[in-house]
Amino acid sequence: MQTNRIAVVTGAARGLGQEFAVALAARGYPVAGWDIADQAETAERIAHTGGEFLPVKADVTEPAQVRAAIAAVIRKFGAVHIVVNNAGIYPPIPFEKTTIDDWHRIMRLNLDGPFLVTGAALPHLKASGWGRIVNIVSAVVFLGPPDLVAYTTSKAGLVGFTRALANAVGADGITVNAISPGLASTETAARTTGADGGFERVRAMQAIPRTESPADLISTLLYVCADGSGFLTGQTINVDGGSAFV
């Protein structure tokens, strides 16, 4: 299926961002992946699907780099229609050991990043009269794990950003929704949580007793990006196997 909807996915070099970029490209969306890391693996996977991919090196917390990245997408594709704000960090730090530098680093990537990327893309979405903004949050917003106070706060802020922005841009034909994963089995998650204890702990909380995979999120992503989802906006869709019933 070929589509003329152009997608931007941040944090596309690995983890969920890579899976989202590959899935969109495989369904015919030309995709621009943004990351500070090398995206050769993402590009190779997308090439195998026959999809179109533009890797852009950009730090989403730096306004000048974000503006340059949007300009690169426009030069290549002529438009932007879909923005997936996926880039983020979730270092587990006990609250009493969280420094102000830790706090600012987490907020900067998890909140400032989506603000800057969305702000840069929004004029192009408005010009098209059609847009999908998808913010990747987390089930921790509904669970409040004690070692993720800063991260939980940042993602809760992104839920609020989703709801308020949906009201601000709905009349422009743009929807804004959030997807809330549980702990999905990516290399990033394994590196952050350490041994399988993190996955075991989360599985014990779920109604569905298996570890979430990135593939479990793809159908939701495609749903909120679809042409037929234009009446769905301001929502946070929890895809966590039932660890948080909201």
> Please, are residues 24 and 10 in contact by the beta-carbon 8 Å criterion?
no
Residues 62-100 as b or e (16 or more Cβ within 10 Å = b): beebbeebbebbeeebeebbbbbbbbbbbeebeeeebee
Active site residues: 151
- Determine the distance from the C-alpha atom of residue 230 to the mean position of all C-alpha atoms in its chain, rounded to a whole number: 19
Residue type, 20: F
